[in-house]
Amino acid sequence: MNPVLLLGQLGRAVLTVMAAFGRVAIFALDALSHMLRPPFYPREFGVALLNIGWLSLPVVGLTAIFTGGALALQIYAGGARFNAEAVVPQIVAIGMVRELGPVLVGLMIAARVTSSIAAEIATMKVTEQIDALVTLSTHPMKYLVAPRVLAALLTVPALVAIGDIIGIAGGYTVAVQNLGFNSAAYLRNTVDFLEMRDIVSSLVKGAAFGTIAAIMGCYYGMNSGRGAQGVGRATKGSVEAAAVLILAANFVLTGVFFSL
């Protein structure tokens, strides 16, 4: 193939990706600015808190408890290869709080909340409800986007904290019930080993992942195509983008907190 054509295609692809990032960044800044400026819609914010926070608790809890239990089993089996079975409490704690808690909660929120926001807003767009909002003197960014992003920003760190605790509890249950660990020693090792930096990083990641999840849902919903196919594409695209961005943000934030 002609190298100039190849370079041209590569350039176009890079420009397309950069333009998409630019559009999302402008949308995110717009959403954040609307969160700070009145009018505010407390009812919509309350509904978003309920949907994103409270109703996500079961899936977050179940994901965390099974992950914590499996992690304890894996660390015990792996540690046994070099007589390090005793590190189970410390590694479960650090693994859940630093990485698995925030990432798994973030991905669960992407699956549950991002898809739901994208589908709902896309359907509103397709059925002219967003145009109706505008004609009723209501800014869609304020009424639809700002309450959801703010609710995700506030509730996902709380979900991560709950996920961390439940995940550690899952590891504790498996270790004490199946692997013969002493209950008091397990808890003491867990508490002693965790640092404030671990907990802060977990909560900051939660806030970042929640914001990403909500913004991607809103962005794809507001920019969906026409008809059922448009809604389907918006929903699929929002979850894919949110999941990838959450994993990328996790890498960056881990670097910021633990490599510097």
Partner 1 sequence: MIKLDNVKKSFGDNHVLRGMDLEIPKGSSMVIIGGSGTGKSVALKCVLGLITPDSGTITVDGQDARKGDRDAFLAKFGMLFQGGALFDSLTVWQNVAFRLLRGSLKRPTEEAREIAIEKLRRVGLKADVADRLPAELSGGMQKRVGLARAIAAEPEIIFFDEPTTGLDPIMSGVINDLIREIVVEMGATAMTITHDMSSVRAIADNVAMLHNGVIQWTGPVADMDASGDPHLDQFIHGRAEGPIEAVR
Residues at the site binding partner 1, with contacts judged by CB under 8 A: 39, 41, 47, 124, 127-129, 131-132, 134-138
For helices 196-222 and 3-36, give the axis angle rounded to 10 degrees: 100
> Least CB distance from residue 154 to partner 1, whole Å?
21
Show Cβ contacts of residue 176 under 8 Å, excluding neighbours closer than 6 positions.
Answer: 182, 183, 186
C-alpha 225/C-alpha 24 separation (Å) is 16
> Least CB distance from residue 134 to partner 1, whole Å?
6
> Least CB distance from residue 232 to partner 1, whole Å?
18
Residue with smaller CB distance to partner 1, 143 or 181? 143
> Least CB distance from residue 91 to partner 1, whole Å?
45
Residue with smaller CB distance to partner 1, 124 or 208? 124
Residue with smaller CB distance to partner 1, 138 or 173? 138
C-alpha 20/C-alpha 15 separation (Å) is 9
Residue with smaller CB distance to partner 1, 73 or 126? 126
Using a 10 angstrom Cβ sphere, with 0-12 exposed, 13-18 middle and 19 or more buried, the burial of residue 94 is: middle
Lookup result for tokens 């270790």: 175
> Least CB distance from residue 23 to partner 1, whole Å?
18
The identity of residue 247, as a single letter, is L
Residue with smaller CB distance to partner 1, 48 or 241? 48
Is 226 in contact with 122 (CB distance < 8 Å)? no
Is 117 in contact with 238 (CB distance < 8 Å)? yes
How many residues are recorded in the chain?
260
Encoded tokens for 29: 């800044």
Is 127 in contact with 227 (CB distance < 8 Å)? no
Q: How many Cα atoms within 13 Å fall on the side-chain side of residue 8?
A: 5
Residue with smaller CB distance to partner 1, 166 or 222? 222
> Least CB distance from residue 235 to partner 1, whole Å?
16
